[in-house]
Amino acid sequence: VVVLVSLGLAGCSGGSVEVAESTSQTASASGASAPASAAAQASETAAVVLPAKHQWVAAKKAKVQFAVPSAWQVVDADQVAAGVDSINADTKKAFTAIAEAQGMTVDVFFKQVFQQMDLYAASPTKSKDLYDNVNVTRPQVPSLPTRDAVAKDLEPLGGKVVSGAKITTLAGEGTRVAYTFPVGDRALNAEMVFVDNGSDIVQITVTAGSAAAAKALTDTVVSTVSPS
Laid out side by side, the sheet with 73-76 consists of 73-76, 119-127, 130-137, 201-208, 186-196, 172-183, 160-169
- Element housing 108 (H / E): helix 106-114
Q: For residues 128 and 184, what is the distance between their CA atoms, to the nearest angstrom?
A: 14
The pLDDT, as a whole number, for residue 90 is 67
Q: Are 177 and 192 in contact (CB under 8 A)?
A: yes
What local confidence, expressed as pLDDT, does residue 67 receive? 98
- Structure confidence at residue 194 (pLDDT): 95
- Mean pLDDT per block of 10 residues along the chain (228 residues) reads 37 28 34 37 61 95 95 77 67 70 75 76 80 88 92 88 96 96 83 94 92 96 96
pLDDT of residue 98: 64
Helix or strand (DSSP H, E) at 211: helix 211-224
* pLDDT recorded at residue 195: 97
Q: How far apart are CA 134 and CA 112, in angstroms?
A: 17
